[in-house]
Amino acid sequence: IDNVDNSLANKTFVVLLNVPNKPYASLVESYEKLEGNSQYEGYGVDLIKELAQKLGFNFILKDGGNDYGSYNTTTNTTSGMLKEIIKGRADLAITDLTITAARQQVVDFSIPFMNLGIAIIHVEPQKDTQAFFTFMDPFSQGVWWLLGLSFLFVSFSFFILGRLSPSEWDNPHPCIEEPSELVNQFTIGNSLWFTTGALLQQGSEMEPKAISTRTVASIWWFFTLLMVSSYTANLAAFLTIEEPTSIINSIDDLVAEKVAYGAKKIGSTREFFEKSGDPRYIKMNEFMNANPKYLTDSNTEGVNRVDKGYAFLMESTSIEYHTMRMCNLSKIGNALDEKGYGIAMRKM
């Protein structure tokens, strides 16, 4: 500001803040007991200090509470910070105070010092916890069933072919040329074991002797080579490219009531839903009216609830502040509207 009006020089103004309401205003953390303006810090405090330095006025900071104020056209009454300004008990209000048409009827605003819109703050999408049967994800349920049936079919094929093929019958006593009984290596248990060893790429001490059993073994080995290679490649992909999942992705998920949600009881965000003609926002307003327990007294209270699976509607700039400091929170979707924050003052 190069060319400034010095008409405000040496005047003293009472400036309302909302404390605590980071990043706009909060109490200074100090082991000493601070009083007056020195006990406050934040964006709003820095802004009024800069203006005071440029324009030459003095100021007294005061906590105006959580009620920013509204104007009731029916009763022609105001509340909160707006009422304090109109009654002359305060001169300015600097916080996340949204410029609205209703408020502009009773107070003046500076040009917006910040542009924003209503958005959703929710917990950061999380990766699903690895389930016990995650190892089965690379193949569909149908493939697993077919693999199991193939395993049983091949095992019984070894058992039957072993019984039918003379080459698979052995003399258990080599010293006896003509034993009364011969043995077959492909019993039910051994057939299952041989098939399992091939499937797990471990092999077996059993050696098929007949052409029929060797043919089945060769086909099964080639099949298991393809299946194991495919499984290994897909398993690595499933474990490394797992996308985080989120319960909500847009305002439509709130309309569908997938999670509990709310906003600050009194303020421009709540007023936006009360006066909107959009069917989605009308439904959301009805939900909040029916569930007042989801409405909060302050934005800080709303943000603290988010960790419990709650979605909070607030200004996008405040959301960006909190998400930069709390990694478990994130902004969901785009802003619902466009508006700005301004400094409120009495009408001239």
Residues linked to residue 108 through DSSP beta bridges, in sequence order: 345
Is the peptide bond between 23 and the residue preceding it cis, with omega within 30 degrees of 0? yes
- With CA atoms as reference, report the closest residue to 343 among 94, 64, 33: 94
On whether 315 is known to bind a ligand per the annotation, the reply is yes
Position of tokens 């785009």? 334
Total length of the chain: 348
What's the rounded Cα separation, in Å, for the pair 319 and 327?
A: 12
Residue 289: partners with Cβ closer than 8 Å, 6 or more residues away: none
Peptide bond into 138 cis (omega under 30): no
79 annotated as ligand-binding: no
| 269 annotated to a ligand binding site | yes
Q: Is 268 annotated as a binding residue?
A: yes
d(CA 259, CA 244): 18
* Largest CA-CA distance found in the chain, in angstroms, rounded: 127
Q: Which residue has the tokens 């299952």?
A: 192
| DSSP state at residue 187 | -
**CA gap 133, 135 in Å, rounded:** 5
Cα separation, 110 vs 136, in Å, equals: 62
Q: How many CB atoms lie within 10 A of CB 42?
A: 21
Backbone angles phi, psi at 307, to 5 degrees: -60, -20
Report the distance separating Cα 105 and Cα 22, nearest Å.
28
Tokens found for residue 219: 């086909």
Which residues belong to the annotated binding site? 98, 103, 268-269, 315
Which residues belong to the annotated binding site for L-glutamate? 98, 103, 268-269, 315
